[in-house]
């Protein structure tokens, strides 16, 4: 291969990589433009607030899924886990706050222990987390057999706080993305644990524990899951054992929509947050139009398929 041809291929690969990185932004713009054309009132402080009302809990759930996907695993229990933490917040955290805090900390520790168990016993994460989804749902039903409970006053005040100039969900999402990016992508600890998905053999040769790395990432997923459940409770003011079951598929779709991949530890925090916002906006707008929730799920699927198709085309173009 001549130097000129190699240079041309490198330039093309860089260009395609940049285009793939911009896909989450492109997908969000494609969704927002027709919304603003059909409903110009949504392009306002209160309009954007309503449109993105449920974005924060979905963003938290997406980052929980991203932490698990970082080690090439898949969490099929995050929706049930979010529902459980919302039920804990609506019951224990109201009646006996100290007990509620202990329960939430226990949930995070249980998540970390599950990650360690998966690595230590080499059990497929899909099998373990699928079983866990029934455990989390069962515990939620024991706590709250029927929809009800209430949100702690401080939590409701926090989630309904109106930020100046920019709608609160946008501010929260940016802050969450920034914290997640610094935690997982920029910190030395984050780079080290992400290597568990990118190059586990090298980690072992350097003496880093795969069990510890997986436990840490699952623990981080547990923390984000707790934040998702509490923020959802603060917005809805009550809980339900089935409150966030859809978050499992939404979180997976958001990570993939944002440029994440199931292998190699390749994820993007900012892309995942943009993916979560895109799916939230699509669902909210269809709800405003009184369209059935079944069609909302279908629309989210169409968005995901379209973006993945574009990504595949760009990857193939880079190999030519």
Length reported for the chain: 320
Q: Which pair of tokens denotes residue 110?
A: 């249980």
- Helix 3-38 crosses helix 293-319 at what angle (to 10 degrees)? 160
Q: What is the per-residue pLDDT for 28?
A: 82
Please report the pLDDT score of residue 39 as a whole number: 78
pLDDT band (50, 70, 90) for residue 273? very high
Contact 90, 150 (CB under 8 A): yes
Note the pLDDT tens digit of each residue in 148-188. 889 999 998 889 888 888 889 999 999 999 999 888 888 77
Of 26 and 143, more confident: 143
Range in 23-27, 180-184, 233-237, 298-302 the model is least confident about: 298-302
pTM for this entry = 0.89
Q: Where are the domains of the chain?
A: 22-313
State pLDDT tens for residues 80-137: 999 999 999 999 999 999 999 999 999 999 999 999 999 888 888 999 999 999 999 9
DSSP, res 42? G
The answer to whether 246 and 142 are in contact (CB under 8 A) is no
Mean pLDDT (the chain, rounded): 83
pLDDT score of 5: 43
Residue 124 vs residue 305, higher pLDDT: 124
Max CA-CA distance within the chain? Answer: 73
**288 pLDDT higher than 80:** no
The pLDDT-based confidence of 48 (bands split at 50, 70, 90) is confident
Percent residues over pLDDT 90 in the chain: 38
How many angstroms separate the CA atoms of 74 and 119, rounded?
Answer: 13
The CATH code that applies to domain 22-313 is: 1.10.3470
């Amino acid at each position: 291969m001549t130097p000129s041809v190699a240079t041309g291929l490198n330039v093309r690969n860089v260009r395609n990589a940049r285009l793939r990185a911009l896909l989450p932004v492109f997908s969000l713009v494609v969704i927002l433009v027709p919304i603003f054309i059909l409903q110009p009132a949504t392009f306002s402080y209160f309009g954007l607030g309503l449109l993105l009302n449920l974005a924060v809990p979905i963003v938290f759930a997406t980052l929980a899924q991203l932490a698990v996907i970082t080690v090439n695993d898949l969490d099929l229990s995050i929706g049930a886990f979010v529902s459980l933490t919302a039920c804990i917040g609506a019951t224990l955290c109201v009646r006996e706050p100290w007990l509620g805090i202990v329960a939430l900390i226990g949930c995070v520790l249980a998540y970390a222990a599950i990650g360690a168990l998966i690595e230590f016993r080499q059990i497929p994460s899909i099998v373990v987390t699928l079983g866990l989804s029934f455990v989390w749902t069962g515990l939620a039903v024991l706590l709250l057999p029927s929809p009800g409970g209430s949100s702690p006053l401080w939590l409701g005040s926090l989630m309904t706080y109106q930020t100046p100039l920019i709608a609160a969900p946008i501010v929260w999402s940016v802050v969450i993305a920034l914290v997640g990016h610094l935690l997982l992508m920029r910190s030395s600890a984050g780079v080290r644990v992400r290597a568990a998905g990118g190059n586990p053999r090298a980690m072992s040769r350097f003496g880093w524990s795969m069990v510890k790395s997986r436990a840490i990432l699952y623990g981080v997923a547990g923390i984000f899951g707790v934040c998702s459940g509490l923020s959802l409770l603060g917005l809805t003011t009550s809980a339900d054992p089935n409150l966030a079951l859809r978050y499992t598929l939404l979180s997976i779709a958001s990570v993939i929509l944002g440029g994440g991949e199931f292998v190699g530890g390749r994820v993007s925090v900012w892309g995942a947050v943009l993916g979560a916002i895109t799916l939230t906006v699509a669902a909210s707008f269809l709800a405003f139009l009184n369209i059935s929730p079944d069609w909302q799920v279908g629309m989210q699927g169409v968005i995901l398929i379209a973006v993945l198709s574009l990504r595949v085309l760009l990857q193939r173009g880079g190999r030519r």
